[in-house]
Amino acid sequence: MLPESPGASATPTRKRKRDCSVVESPSKSSTPRKRKSFSNYSFSESPSKSSTPRKRKSFSNYSFSKSRRQFTTDESLEINTFFERYIEKGETIPIQKAKTALADGDLPKCKQSSKTPKQVQDKVRQLIRRSRTSSRKTQSVVEKEKENDLIEAILSHREDGLEVAEIENKGRGVIATKQFVHGEFIVEYVGDLITWKEAKKREVKYASDTNVGCYMYYFNSKAKRFCIDATNESSSFGRLFNHSRRKPNCRTRVVWIGGKSGEQPHLAIIAKRDIKKEEEMLFDYGDRERDAIKENPWLKD
Ligand SMILES: C[S@@+](CC[C@H](N)C(=O)[O-])C[C@H]1O[C@@H](n2cnc3c(N)ncnc32)[C@H](O)[C@@H]1O
């Protein structure tokens, strides 16, 4: 089923129009129209690209470009410890220098040691391979940390860097009071998590009261249909984000979090790009239904 359009906006001081398609602009008609709710289908973040290590033809061709990842202290120590046996004792050897020396075949004391230059090269190759593996691990660790941060942000009800403002022709809206970087968590779309069946029932109930706006967000996740009903006034910023189809700076993402009653989906609003201070926070409600657009022309914007 297609998502319906966003619910009606309202300010506490103004009488709200029953129908969500009615924008709070005084110039607009107050004729009740079909109630709509909204949704957005871009639920998952695109996976981050993992850097594929370039294939090395031979050790001696290996290029130690400056752009390559730096070794960690432990790795450097390990490599340096190894080289201490061949180069002046106690000297701290920059790892790149040591490897370049190896690549150039400049192995000062190798011949006097129990290891052959070939064995030294093999050892360095092994260390490099290991460092690449740990580089890939680091990437997955970073991803895991991001995910944990998202969960932590939701569980701790993080909502900083935002304020509510009156926006011309839109009612209330949310403005950034700090910069957000691409992919950063902004706020959760907080409301009652209900089934579509329950949502439809509530739609009927809300439709009978012209003072009630509609802030229903329909979505599918893990092959199930859900709705988050944020109709009840609350101090949460998520429910006050306005729509932009053409220039959204935010998007939604479903995050499943386990609790006592099992895993539940949460809707996180995250930055679609870097967002500057003072920008209005906007996401695409995702409603492309012709009727809805006819009733709510701002859905095209
Ligand atoms: C989820 S609410 C957003 C907060 C709402 N503006 C308020 O004051 O409570 C959705 C409603 O905001 C209004 N709205 C959202 N985006 C808009 C836009 N781009 N232009 C005009 N009105 C908009 C519409 O009335 C819509 O039904």
DSSP-assigned states of every residue in 97-152 = HHHHHHHTT--TTGGGSSS-HHHHHHHHHHHHHHHHHHHHHHHHHHHHHHHHHHHH
**What confidence score (pLDDT) does residue 262 get?**
85
Q: Does the beta carbon of 266 lie inside 6 Å of ligand 1?
A: no
Closest C-alpha among 132, 188, 123 to residue 155: 188
CA 252 to chain centre: 9
Ligand 1 center–CA 25 separation, angstroms? 10
Ligand 1 center–CA 170 separation, angstroms? 5
Q: Does the beta carbon of 35 lie inside 6 Å of ligand 1?
A: no
pLDDT tens across 66-91, in order? 334 455 555 555 555 556 554 444 44
**What confidence score (pLDDT) does residue 216 get?**
92
The pTM of this model reads 0.62
CB count, 10 Å around CB of 167?
16
List every span in the chain annotated with CATH 2.170.270.10.
169-300
Q: Does the beta carbon of 40 lie inside 6 Å of ligand 1?
A: no
- Gap between the Cα atoms of 263 and 106, Å rounded: 59
Q: Which atom of ligand 1 lies at the shortest distance from residue 243's CA?
A: 16
CATH no. of 169-300: 2.170.270.10
- Gap between the Cα atoms of 40 and 217, Å rounded: 8
- Gap between the Cα atoms of 215 and 186, Å rounded: 18
Mean pLDDT, residues 95-101: 60
Mean pLDDT, residues 145-149: 89
Residue 49 binned pLDDT confidence (cut-offs 50, 70, 90): very low
